[in-house]
């Protein structure tokens, strides 16, 4: 149950006092939801007025619906409840997936289904990552049309230029501008709050929308149109998943303080202000956000909105990098080149492949859809499905942790029903762009499942051909190969048997180092592993030992550093790590289809992904001058 899941560990202590953390989280957590007023009310009221005739009841109903969506979905569901469902302080869909289906757990039909559901949820974030920068920056730049309609033709090219620059600077890291994200978003919330007060002063009658009655009344009489209106209002809560996903960076308390103290009041004031403006000036429907401001401030407001939307875009891009790193560590994606852009801040990473894939998807969305109104349909469907999946998975975690099933089903069932209502309403836009992020998610989920299944097959194949530890010891005792000075570290995926890189080297070269460490890297389902739990060593024979290095799914595995911890703690004999020889296997996979575990074309796809994965030495941070690769060939 999301109301009762909690853990004591919080990894955010390094962020200092909570006021600083609350300010910082505004630029990371609230960027997406904070820029929603740029387009949400306009899109929703237009959906409520298909004939072009906007009624006061529609305006009141829409504003009330948006306000209560923020209260129920964000304030109650995420901020109060779901943020308590953490995996050792970390949140997000993959953290839930790690809790539901740990690698070492016995697989069952239900667990397999949840893996598929969880992967679809994770990949929906990539779909979100292509739409968020597009709709956010487009909606900001569209403010230029208010005072200069002739500039409409440059909106898309200017948006493309800004996004290209944004993706280009990723390789240099964003820590150098990250410290201004929070203050800029604070200014943004103050400004939109003040604009909202001005709009409310024009038509205080809009305050009637503080009650849910106008929303319920309007939807009751709207008929089939209600679905489209609910789908539009859902845009106000997109970005709610960031509250949960970024919880590990800041902790729940600073996020809650920033939400209830700054973001929610500012968003409420602005939505009500836009509604008040529409009650008095229906012609402002084209862009109620910008028309709230006096004419002289439009261009500065466009600049501020652009900065805010770039921050929102940066947050989702960085989130995609983090999600990719977690997926790799948890075994759902092949190894990729992950660049740490700063040595002083954890989590400042850059993943080139993800960056350019997101850039391509975002630019296609901007050019293909051309306006924030058109992108509105493509946006909500992915996020609403993700929210439903998050609630569903949190329910399974609660049941797994033996919370009262009656309470679990009552609370989470109600939230899940609401999620399904929002999802159903956003599906009305399926053929108007909603298919775009769903297609991205389905393709990526299929690739992840293919990789995970392929690795399971490869693990079985490796075990079949590996020499057992006892047999290997008996062999070296009887054959007495030449022992050469130094230490050899042999990397293997599993802590069972002897890696083929070692047995093949002994078979053909008939030599063995004086000391041999069989090192297996294990990625745990916890975010981080302490140095006390980092290493375990099992002696196998004189000069031969098995070493298991454990890393959390939020950590970058570094084998030399792990071995240094083992030496420091006296678990292995002192050695000069700079002179150690590392043996790794260079695996070539041939898809034959003979084992009938996957279709041959899927095996070929897995082989392609495996071939293009980052080399183990580079991924595990081993100096290239110390690596010896042994070629290995497998048929699957």
pLDDT digits (tens, 9 = 90+) for 322-359: 888 888 887 889 988 888 766 444 456 788 999 999 99
Is residue 7, in this structure, part of any structural domain at all? no
Query: Given this model, what pLDDT does residue 182 score?
Result: 84
Let me know whether 333 and 471 are in one domain. Answer: no
Token readout for 347 is 């989590």
Q: Which is nearest to 378 in space by CA: 342, 334, 442, 432?
A: 432
- More confidently predicted of 588 and 37: 37
Let me know whether 443 and 480 are in one domain. Answer: no
- Asked if residue 392 has pLDDT above 80, the reply is yes
**Domain total of the chain:** 2
Is residue 59, in this structure, part of any structural domain at all? yes
Q: 3-state DSSP call for residue 634?
A: strand
Let me know whether 432 and 498 are in one domain. Answer: no
- More confidently predicted of 339 and 88: 339
Give the pLDDT band of residue 65 (cuts 50, 70, 90). very high
- Asked if residue 200 has pLDDT above 90, the reply is yes
Give the pLDDT band of residue 596 (cuts 50, 70, 90). low
Query: Given this model, what pLDDT does residue 348 score?
Result: 67
Q: What is the pLDDT of residues 109-147, one digit of tens each?
A: 666 777 788 888 888 888 888 888 888 898 888 888 877
- What phi and psi, each to the nearest 5 degrees, are found at residue 547? -120, 125
Give the pLDDT band of residue 14 (cuts 50, 70, 90). very low
Q: Is the dihedral of CA 219, 424, 123, 326 positive or negative?
A: positive
Q: How far apart are CA 196 and CA 191, in angstroms?
A: 9
Give the pLDDT band of residue 175 (cuts 50, 70, 90). low
Let me know whether 488 and 379 are in one domain. Answer: no
How long, in residues, is the chain? Answer: 636
DSSP per residue, 363-380: HHHHHHH-SHHHHHHHHH
Q: How far apart are CA 636 and CA 420, in angstroms?
A: 41
What number of other Cβ atoms are within 10 A of residue 356's Cβ?
A: 12
**Cβ–Cβ < 8 Å for 121, 93:** yes
Let me know whether 300 and 373 are in one domain. Answer: yes
Among 402, 418, 453, give the residue marking a domain's end: 453
Let me know whether 406 and 534 are in one domain. Answer: no
Let me know whether 414 and 313 are in one domain. Answer: yes
Is residue 1, in this structure, part of any structural domain at all? no
Q: What is the pLDDT of residues 68-81, one digit of tens each?
A: 999 999 998 888 88
Query: Given this model, what pLDDT does residue 173 score?
Result: 67
- Write down the H helix ranges in 496-631: 500-509, 559-568, 600-611, 616-619
Query: Given this model, what pLDDT does residue 177 score?
Result: 62
Longest C-alpha distance within the chain, in Å?
94
DSSP β-ladder status, 627-635 and 544-551: unpaired
DSSP β-ladder status, 511-523 and 482-492: parallel
Is residue 617, in this structure, part of any structural domain at all? yes
DSSP β-ladder status, 511-523 and 627-635: unpaired
Among 412, 431, 453, give the residue marking a domain's end: 453
- Asked if residue 66 has pLDDT above 90, the reply is yes
Give the pLDDT band of residue 102 (cuts 50, 70, 90). low
Burial of 6 by CB count in 10 Å (0-12 exposed, 13-18 middle, 19+ buried)?
Answer: exposed
Q: Which helix (H) or strand (E) holds 485?
A: strand 482-492
**Cβ–Cβ < 8 Å for 348, 341:** yes
* Residue with the two structure tokens 């969506």: 69
> What integer is the mean pLDDT of 590-602?
77
DSSP β-ladder status, 482-492 and 581-590: parallel
Let me know whether 421 and 554 are in one domain. Answer: no
Is residue 592, in this structure, part of any structural domain at all? yes
Is residue 461, in this structure, part of any structural domain at all? no
Q: What is the pLDDT of residues 458-513, one digit of tens each?
A: 888 887 778 888 888 888 888 888 888 888 898 887 777 788 888 888 888 888 88
Q: Which is nearest to 4 in space by CA: 94, 85, 68?
A: 85
The chain-wide mean pLDDT, for the chain, equals 83
* Residue with the two structure tokens 């862009």: 287
**Cβ–Cβ < 8 Å for 555, 619:** no
Is residue 373, in this structure, part of any structural domain at all? yes
Token readout for 10 is 């919080």
Give the pLDDT band of residue 13 (cuts 50, 70, 90). very low
- Asked if residue 565 has pLDDT above 80, the reply is yes
Burial of 592 by CB count in 10 Å (0-12 exposed, 13-18 middle, 19+ buried)?
Answer: exposed
Domain holding 537, by residue range, is 466-635
What number of other Cβ atoms are within 10 A of residue 68's Cβ?
A: 19
> What integer is the mean pLDDT of 375-394?
83
- Asked if residue 520 has pLDDT above 50, the reply is yes
Strand 511-523's sheet: what is its strand order?
Answer: 535-541, 544-551, 511-523, 482-492, 581-590, 627-635
DSSP β-ladder status, 339-340 and 349-350: antiparallel
Give the pLDDT band of residue 7 (cuts 50, 70, 90). very low
**Cβ–Cβ < 8 Å for 380, 231:** yes
Among 430, 453, 476, give the residue marking a domain's end: 453
Let me know whether 408 and 503 are in one domain. Answer: no
Q: Which helix (H) or strand (E) holds 197?
A: helix 181-202
What number of other Cβ atoms are within 10 A of residue 218's Cβ?
A: 22
- In order of 5, 21, 159, 246, 588, the CA distances from 12 in angstroms are 18, 9, 35, 11, 42
**Cβ–Cβ < 8 Å for 370, 154:** no
Query: Given this model, what pLDDT does residue 204 score?
Result: 93
Let me know whether 596 and 533 are in one domain. Answer: yes
Lowest mean pLDDT across 82-86, 305-309, 349-353: 82-86
Give the pLDDT band of residue 47 (cuts 50, 70, 90). confident
Q: Which residues partner with 551 through β-bridges? A: 523
Q: What is the CATH number of the domain that holds 331?
A: 1.20.1740.10
Let me know whether 505 and 448 are in one domain. Answer: no
Let me know whether 476 and 381 are in one domain. Answer: no
Is residue 569, in this structure, part of any structural domain at all? yes
- Write down the H helix ranges in 49-151: 56-69, 93-100, 109-141, 144-147
> What integer is the mean pLDDT of 196-225?
92
């Amino acid at each position: 149950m999301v109301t009762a899941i909690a853990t004591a560990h919080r990894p955010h202590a390094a962020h200092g006092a909570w006021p600083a953390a609350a300010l910082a989280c505004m630029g990371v957590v609230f960027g997406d939801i904070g820029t929603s007023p740029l387009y949400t009310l306009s899109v929703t009221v237009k959906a409520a007025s298909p004939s072009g005739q906007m009624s006061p009841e529609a305006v009141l109903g829409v504003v009330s619906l948006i306000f209560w969506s923020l209260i129920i979905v964000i304030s109650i569901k995420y901020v109060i409840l779901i943020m308590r469902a953490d995996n050792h302080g970390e949140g997000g869909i993959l953290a839930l997936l790690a809790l539901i289906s740990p690698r070492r757990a016995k697989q069952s039909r239900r667990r397999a289904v949840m893996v598929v559901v969880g992967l679809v949820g994770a990949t929906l974030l990539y779909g979100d990552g292509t739409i968020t920068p597009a709709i956010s920056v487009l909606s900001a730049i569209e403010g230029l049309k208010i005072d200069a309609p002739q500039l409409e033709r440059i909106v898309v090219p200017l948006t493309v230029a800004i996004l290209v620059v944004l993706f280009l600077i990723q390789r240099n890291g964003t820590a150098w501008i990250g410290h201004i994200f929070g203050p800029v978003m604070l200014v943004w919330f103050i400004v939109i709050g003040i604009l909202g007060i001005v709009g409310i002063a024009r038509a205080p009658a809009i305050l009637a929308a503080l009650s849910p009655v106008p929303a319920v009344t309007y939807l009751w009489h709207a008929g089939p149109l209600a679905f489209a209106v609910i789908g539009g209002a859902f845009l106000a809560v997109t970005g709610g998943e960031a509250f949960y996903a970024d919880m590990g960076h800041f902790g729940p308390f600073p996020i809650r303080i920033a939400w209830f103290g700054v973001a929610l009041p500012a968003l409420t004031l602005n939505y009500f202000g836009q509604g008040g403006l529409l009650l008095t000036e229906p012609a402002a429907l084209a862009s109620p956000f910008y028309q709230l401001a006096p004419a002289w401030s439009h261009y500065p407001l466009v600049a501020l909105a652009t900065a805010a939307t770039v921050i929102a875009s940066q947050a989702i891009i960085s989130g995609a990098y983090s999600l990719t790193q977690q997926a790799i560590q948890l075994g759902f994606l092949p190894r990729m080149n992950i660049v740490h852009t700063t040595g002083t801040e954890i989590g400042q990473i850059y993943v080139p492949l993800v960056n350019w894939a997101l850039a391509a998807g975002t630019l296609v969305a901007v050019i293909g859809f051309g306006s924030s109104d058109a992108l509105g349909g493509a946006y909500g469907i992915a996020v609403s499905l993700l929210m439903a999946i998050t609630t569903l998975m949190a329910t399974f975690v609660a049941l797994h942790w033996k919370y009262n099933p009656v309470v679990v089903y009552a609370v989470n069932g109600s939230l899940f029903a609401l999620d399904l209502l929002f999802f159903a309403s956003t599906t009305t836009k399926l053929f108007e762009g909603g298919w775009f992020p769903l297609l991205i998610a389905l393709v990526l989920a299929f690739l992840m499942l293919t990789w995970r299944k392929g690795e399971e097959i490869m693990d079985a194949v490796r075990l079949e051909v590996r020499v057992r530890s006892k047999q290997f010891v008996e062999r070296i005792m009887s054959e007495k190969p030449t022992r050469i000075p130094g230490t050899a570290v042999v990397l293997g995926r599993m802590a069972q048997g002897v890696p083929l890189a070692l047995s093949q080297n002994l078979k053909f070269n008939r030599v063995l180092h004086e000391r041999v460490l069989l090192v297996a890297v294990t990625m745990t389902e916890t975010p981080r592993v302490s140095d006390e739990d980092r290493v375990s060593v099992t002696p196998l024979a004189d000069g031969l030992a098995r070493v298991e290095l454990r890393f959390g799914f939020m950590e970058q595995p570094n084998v030399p550093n792990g071995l240094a911890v083992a030496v420091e703690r006296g678990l292995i004999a002192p050695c000069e790590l700079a002179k150690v020889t590392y043996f790794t296997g260079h695996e070539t996979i041939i898809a034959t289809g003979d084992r009938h575990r996957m279709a041959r074309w899927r095996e070929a796809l897995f082989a392609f992904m495996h071939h293009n994965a980052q080399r183990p030495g580079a991924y595990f941070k081993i100096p290239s001058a110390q690596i010896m690769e042994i070629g290995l060939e497998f048929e699957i």
